[in-house]
Each structure stands twice: as C-alpha cells, then as structure tokens.
Amino acid sequence: MAPPTELLARPERSSAPGSRAMGRLVAVGLLGIALALLGERLLALRNRLKASREVESVDLPHCHLIKGIEAGSEDIDILPNGLAFFSVGLKFPGLHSFAPDKPGGILMMDLKEEKPRARELRISRGFDLASFNPHGISTFIDNDDTVYLFVVNHPEFKNTVEIFKFEEAENSLLHLKTVKHELLPSVNDITAVGPAHFYATNDHYFSDPFLKYLETYLNLHWANVVYYSPNEVKVVAEGFDSANGINISPDDKYIYVADILAHEIHVLEKHTNMNLTQLKVLELDTLVDNLSIDPSSGDIWVGCHPNGQKLFVYDPNNPPSSEVLRIQNILSEKPTVTTVYANNGSVLQGSSVASVYDGKLLIGTLYHRALYCEL
C-alpha cells in the first residue's frame, strides 16, 4: 500500500500536463490572432500602395528629358513670368537615390526661352549647402513684387522650412529665415500665403523613422495640415492617412490637399482666421503626390504614382511608373479627371509633380529625371 503522501501527490502530477496544454492552447490562439492581424495589415497596406496596379502608356508627342536633372525633381513651382523653380536631389530613409552623396539644390528654367534649360541657383553665404535636402516648394509674390521661395528642407533628415528671397538679376537666393516648430514634425509640402506665412502638410504625426513606419503600417490617420505665421501656429485640418501635396485655388478661397495613401484630394474652405473646413473629397485610383494649379483655368495638375510598392522597393528591371492627371471643375458635382501622361518607367520613373505654363508641361519625379513637354 502506498504511503498517504504519495496518494496525495499523484493528483498534483496528473494536473500539470493539463495546465501546460491549456497554456500552450492560449499561446497558439494568441499567435494565430497576431498572425491574422499581421496578414490583414499587410494586405491593407498593399491595397493602399496599389501594389498590383499596372499602367497603360499615354504618350505626349513633343517631350524631352531635361538635361542636368538626373536624381529627382520632387516639386516644381512656376511664377507668372514663366520662371520655373525645381526642387532637386531629395534623399530620405528607405528611398532610392541616384546621387546619394550629392546635396540637393534649387534649379530654375525660363519657359519663355525658345530652348529653355535648367540652371542651378546660387544660395547666399551662411546657409548650410552641404546638408541641403529640399522637398516641397512654394513661391509667394508680395505687394512690392518681391518673390519669396519657401522650401521644405530635411537637413540630416530633420524638418525645417527655409524662406528665401529670389534675386532675379543675380540668379540667386538670399536666405532669410529657418522655421522649426513642434507642430512641423514630418513636413512634406507647403503653400505660401504671405511673406512668412504658409500652410504645410505633415505626412506623419511622428518624426522618428520607426514610429513613422508603425503609423503607416497601422493606418492611424494622424497626419495633418498646419498653418504657420510669425504670430500663430496651429493645426487646421487632420485625420489624413498621409497628407502630401498642398496648394491654393487662384481666388485664395480653397486649399487642396492630396492624401497619397488614401488616393484622395481634399477640398478645404479657407476662412479669415486661416482655419480650414472640409468641403468635399475627390477619390482617385492612384497615389496622388504634389498638386499644381493652372492660374488661368483653376485646373489641378497632379503628379501620381500608379504603384507605390515599386516606388519604395526599387527594382531597375521593374521600375516605378509615372502618371499625370488633370482635374477640371473640382468644385462641381462631377469633376473631369483626364490622364494626360502615363509611362511604365521606361522614360520617367516615379512622377511626383506636373506643372503647366502657356502650353508647356513640366513633369518632375521623386528621384529620377524630369520631362519637358509641349502640349
């Protein structure tokens, strides 16, 4: 006969395997839920990136690549006199670059010339050219005809807005001010509304690269639009997946914002206190980047990425494609959306902006070439 202590111990030994089995079952269940959520987030991200989309070519007959632009012209802005500014050489973590060791710059092209060519503008002494990493740009003409150029800059992958005065006679930029602010943690694009006043998009809420990735992966919709002036800085619109291009209507009544991963353009009404209220949203079937406005018609020209996965996972044998849309009558019930140009990457990779002037079209890219076309 077994001692009483052994009889008491046997039930304890027999219950241990059951506890371990239950623990393993819970662990497997939690792992299954985590994998399911991971798969769902990956699928959602692929859909937001339009990872399966291919583009059919739409050619323009009179186009040529612009000499001197080899490593991107992310944004373009054109003055009423036909002088076009190019933001070139953007570098960003995880983004391909054809000139990783060369700082960025600002180029200018006179579209009134018979054979216009791009020239780099000199920048005044004292500005750190070695770390110049320009992104979105915008011009503003003051009442005294002074031209200001606003440039989103990422020196050492930080976030600033640089304000320059354009000195046409010297083909140069005089640096006036560097703007930094806690409400500008991840600036993408900008539209100037005064000599030191602007609206800017934050494509992410965070500035840290890992937190940015997590924010995108989880689709948090924390991106926003900020109004900046020397006297006031405030968030004026929020809830975007990834706020990107921004511009203003010719009558100064509306602000247009591209939400690149949501494939949308938001129309926001501007108020006297500079606050914005949403008026409508135009849904598209592509990743919308920078927005340019034709001042004569009010049409919106958009540089787009048909397939965002190709843009961020660069393969020279399967490069990112390009697409340019023209949007007419965006305030109407049914705006007209026309594909003006599309290419599979054989000519132009990763179009980010399209700007028009007097029958001429300029198409810039995130990190590739730039195209000049006669419409």
| Residue matched to tokens 């209220």 | 277
- Global confidence as pTM: 0.90
Per this entry, what is the length of the chain?
Answer: 375
Confidence of residue 34 (pLDDT cuts 50, 70, 90): low
Residue 14 above 60 pLDDT? no
Residue 31 above 70 pLDDT? no
Residue 1 above 60 pLDDT? no
Concerning whether 175 is annotated as a catalytic residue, the answer is: no
244 has binding-site annotation = yes
What is the average pLDDT across 22-27?
68
295's tokens: 């001042």
pLDDT > 70: what percent of the chain? 91
Residue 148 · residue 167 · CB < 8 Å:
no
CA atoms within 13 A on the CB side of 48: 19
144 has binding-site annotation = no
* Mean residue pLDDT across the chain: 93
188 has binding-site annotation = yes
Worst-scoring range by mean pLDDT, 20-24, 33-37, 238-242, 284-288? 33-37
Handedness of CA 51, 53, 54, 59 (dihedral sign): negative
Worst-scoring range by mean pLDDT, 21-25, 182-186, 310-314, 332-336? 21-25
181's tokens: 């602010």
358 has binding-site annotation = no
101 has binding-site annotation = no
pLDDT at 93: 86
Residue 102 above 70 pLDDT? yes
Of residues 34 and 248, which shows the higher confidence score?
Answer: 248
Q: Which CATH architecture group holds 43-372?
A: 6 Propeller (2.120)
pLDDT at 27: 65
294 has binding-site annotation = no
What is the average pLDDT across 264-293?
98
Confidence of residue 215 (pLDDT cuts 50, 70, 90): very high
DSSP three-state, residue 350: coil
Residue 223 · residue 204 · CB < 8 Å:
yes
Burial of 337 (0-12, 13-18, 19+ CB in 10 A): middle
For residue 99, what is the enclosing H or E element? none
What is d(CA 25, CA 173) in angstroms, rounded to the nearest whole number?
Answer: 66
What is the average pLDDT across 112-132?
96
**Catalytic pick among 135, 204, 266, 305:** 135
What is the average pLDDT across 165-188?
97
59 has binding-site annotation = no
Beta pairing partners, 226? 200, 235
What is the average pLDDT across 144-159?
97
pLDDT at 35: 62
Measured between its terminal Cα atoms, the distance across the chain in Å is: 103
Residue 190 · residue 202 · CB < 8 Å:
no
Confidence of residue 10 (pLDDT cuts 50, 70, 90): very low
How far, CA to CA in Å, does 24 sit from each of 15, 19, 27, 31, 222? 15, 9, 5, 10, 37
pLDDT at 4: 44
pLDDT tens digits for range 301-314 = 999 999 999 999 99
